[in-house]
Amino acid sequence: MPPPRNANFAWVQHFIHHLAPHGIAGFVLSNGSMSSAQSGEGDMRKKIVEADLVDCMVALPGQLFYGTAIPASLWFLVKEKSGRSTRGGAQLRDRRGETLFINARDLGSLVDRTHRELSDADRNLITRTYHSWRGQPEAGEYADVPGFCRSVRIDEIRINDHVLAPGRYVGAAPNSESGDLESRVNTLRNTLQSQLDESDRLAKNVRDMLARL
């Protein structure tokens, strides 16, 4: 049972209960939800992990929200990880026993002294990373990026007491230099933006051709 003074895991269990067999639940929670062991929260998180419901965890930078400057996290939960086709026909990779961790805390830029925003390229980088890990063909091939993203087996999460903080798993960038991580992320971001621009150009060509038929 969730503790009376904190409804985080009451909401999480509510989402799980109503989740469709091939559905996905995505929501924002405070970072404490990823590691707290108070009031039975650690036991509830353990059961969610052991049920293999956690598909992806994303650590966000601070100062994104106008109501608070603290960083938060994105949770993505699913009931079906086998890769079987959904009703829409999508064939995903078999991800049973795996969870993707993304550390996006270095993304975004300050728009004033107190607020940070994620650019379209930042959001697309996170999205494409998750989609490629799931096995969506249009997202390209997935690869771990030290300091940014890593696919982790459930055995390793058990060793870490079922803590779901991405920083625990993605490691440090090569040479432990944040500047190197920023360079790698910027390279990925620029590559993704070029691909998106090319995709838009090709889509426009297709629309023009269809209009002439």
Instruction: Flag whether 108 is in a domain.
Output: yes
Residue 71 falls within a domain, yes or no?
Answer: yes
Range of the domain at 159: 8-212
pLDDT at 113: 86
- Please tell me the predicted confidence (pLDDT) of residue 181: 65
- What's residue 116's pLDDT? 94
In the structure encoding, which two tokens stand for residue 161, read together?
Answer: 């007491």
Residue 118 lies in a domain: yes
Query: What CATH number corresponds to the domain at position 102?
Result: 3.40.50.150
Q: What is the mean pLDDT of each run of 10 residues along the chain (213 residues)?
A: 87 95 93 90 95 97 89 95 70 94 94 92 96 93 96 97 96 65 68 69 80 82
Q: Is residue 3 part of a domain?
A: no
pLDDT, position 211: 83
Q: What does pTM read for this prediction?
A: 0.80
Task: Write the DSSP string, the chain.
Answer: ---TT--HHHHHHHHHHH--TT-EEEEEEEGGGGT--GGGHHHHHHHHHHTT-EEEEEEPPSS-SSS--S-EEEEEEES--S----TT-------TTEEEEEE-TT--EESSSS-EE--HHHHHHHHHHHHHHHT-GGG-----BTTTEEEEEHHHHHHTTT---GGGTS---GGG-HHHHHHHHHHHHHHHHHHHHHHHHHHHHHHHHHHH-
Judge whether 148 lies within some domain.
yes
Structural domain count of the chain? 1
Is residue 156 in some structural domain?
yes
Considering the domain boundaries, does residue 2 fall inside one?
no
